[in-house]
Structure 1
Amino acid sequence: MTGLSVRNVLSRVFLRPDQVDWAVYKYYIEAITIAFAIGTVSCNAVQQCFYALSNMWLTVWSRNGYGAVNETTNLTISSPQDLYLGLYGFLGSMQVIGAVLATLATSIGSVKASKYLHNSLLRNVLRLPQTLFDTTPTGRILNRFSLDINVLDDTFPMVLRICVPQIFRLAAIFGIIIYTTPIFVVAIIPVVLVYCFIQRVFVSTVRQVKRIESISRAPIFSHFEETITGAQTIRAFGMQEKFIEESETRVDVNQMAVFPGAVCGSWLSVRLELIGGLITFFAALFAVLSRDTVDPALVGLSISSSLQVTIALTILMRTASDVETNIVAVERIKEYVELKQEAPWEEPSHPAPCDWPTVGEVTFQDYQLRYREGLDLVLKGVSFSIRGGEK
């Protein structure tokens, strides 16, 4: 039974495209609203710009020390430290403001998107044809309203709040290193190519593992509901052990995706540590080679910034993979939102008369009926009339 269940799950996973379509991302951005999406990106970019400027200002402070300001400016300052502290405090305050605004934009936009997608899903499911409920396991529908909505409410906003700032943080770090030692561009190109390869392999693998986990969870809900509904019948026929075994089998199939996910995380950590070490090595190497032309304070800034690359890369890679795996929840909700609904309550092209019905008469002319689309007709060419007062 386990082998059959695993085959069924894997066949459903690999029939799906490897990458999530960009239309799904567009759909979620529209749910957030363009204003909050732009606000999130802009505020994070501003925050990281001030982060880079504050580090640069510290470098200037450490290089110039006391008395240097009066030599390069015409300002009359009682204490040069006041200028350094004041400007550094201003840059730090702008970082805080940018972070707060970015968090607010992300949180409010995520709440708006979650409400919109939940209401759209609920509205469409309530209008779906009965045949879909006859052919779709209840657990699969409950999975949309439980796990997938929980991802939109909790997991996805948290991942976005971490992922988006890390993109600009890495851009700021590389900008500082390249500004200090421009020759670093020669080393960063192959390193970025290797990073992109690792990212592609890791994300595609984790995405499929996540899909296996999500798809194999629906049968657990379905079996649980069937067990609760038929508990008296199960006890009457003495089938408790069989149902317990079936429940454990479905849980085992679901848990098979957990261990590969942990192994993928360890695989990623080793390679990102290697990339981070290479970046630090090249930053230090080029700083030494340029020691006669580069200011020592800038060298220190470059090397200290390169030491942050490993942590930033690890966070970005994991959160980027989380974005791609959790966006599957939006994809699954979008599928149900776009399912064909029943006929509308009112047909604008054929409006009913204002005084309808005047008599209780029902007429069928050449009526045809099939249980669902794709099946043979069960009624064909039926015509009859029932007058008012007749049965």
Structure 2
Amino acid sequence: MNSLDLPKAPHETRVVVAMSGGVDSSVVAGLLKRQGYDVVGITLQLYDHGAATHRKGACCAGQDIHDARRVAETLGIPHYVLDYEDRFRESVIDRFAESYLAGETPIPCVECNRSIKFRDLLATARDLDADTLATGHYVASRPLPQGGRGLYRALDPARDQSYFLYATTAEQLAFLRFPLGELPKDETRRLAHELGLSVAQKADSQDICFVPQGRYADVIARLRPDAARAGDIVDLSGRVLGRHDGIVHYTVGQRRGLRLAIGEPLYVVRLEADTARVVVGPREALATSRIRLTDVNWLAGPVQADLPVAVRVRSTREPRAAHLTLDAEAGTAEIVLATPEDGVSPGQACVIYADDGPRAQVLGGGTIRRIDALQAGAAEAA
């Protein structure tokens, strides 16, 4: 086996590297080239390449494409740019807007990986007779005793991206490789300098790459100019406290920007798309202990119907102890958290791990659809 757990010698192994134009994927290409692999770089043009040309933190657009091309030239590898703008708009940006208008908090990076990178790009890699597709994600994969590969948290906990990859299928995972999963970020930067890459000091991309300066409401207003509607800001009892100009401007757990003179700190507890109401309450009203998931994907199956696990309800939080109950017939899962979490919102991902260890295996995950603590608040308001 070579360093990628593939049977052929490196020079006989074709690796397509997804090159976003950033330091991480550039180092992956450089390392594999140095190890003697037959490396082909592919960059996806995903969105608004004009507006993003000089924006710090952009990804897969404008200057990033030029940066990826320069890295490929430095390494002496073939490089192709594929126009995926239409696919990205339909699969990621449009769904992002629809989810926010429904009062949810979507995670577009999950959908991008699921629908674009690990479906369309993976198919392109196969068309190029590649043996594997490598990316710059900070996540680890290893062979499983029963066959196939398992997905695990990265060595560098501050960079671990396993939360965003739970929707990968077992078949995709068998074809994917993540060479940075066993490296700390500072080592990646050092390697970029050692390899002579022009992107060695380039800033990391932001989570929502197509949202300039983090103003997601501006993107939604442009895509759905007639969809947002004004409504009331109410407390848990239904008492009107103020007005707002669209629920897309709010997320669960938000405190700032409510423009309410109540004399006590209030937080967004729930967003009601049907009535265009923003429901606010004290911090304790955010506590959630029971979550219902749909669109569940399992990477380590079959999973027991009743199982102690650890879960992440946000990418920035460590996995925490929970209990999993499956409804196989309905295709849903229920999570009971050992310790309530604040600010959990429908539309977010809940990723399920075997335990809360630093290198824990990803069992799977799903989309948060129902939060019982918030539903109880709705019943009190009624």
TM-score normalised over the length of structure 1:
0.19
Structure with more of its chain in helix, by fraction: 1
Question: Which has a greater percent of strand?
Answer: 2
Which structure has the larger Rg?
A: 1
TM-score normalised by L of structure 2: 0.20
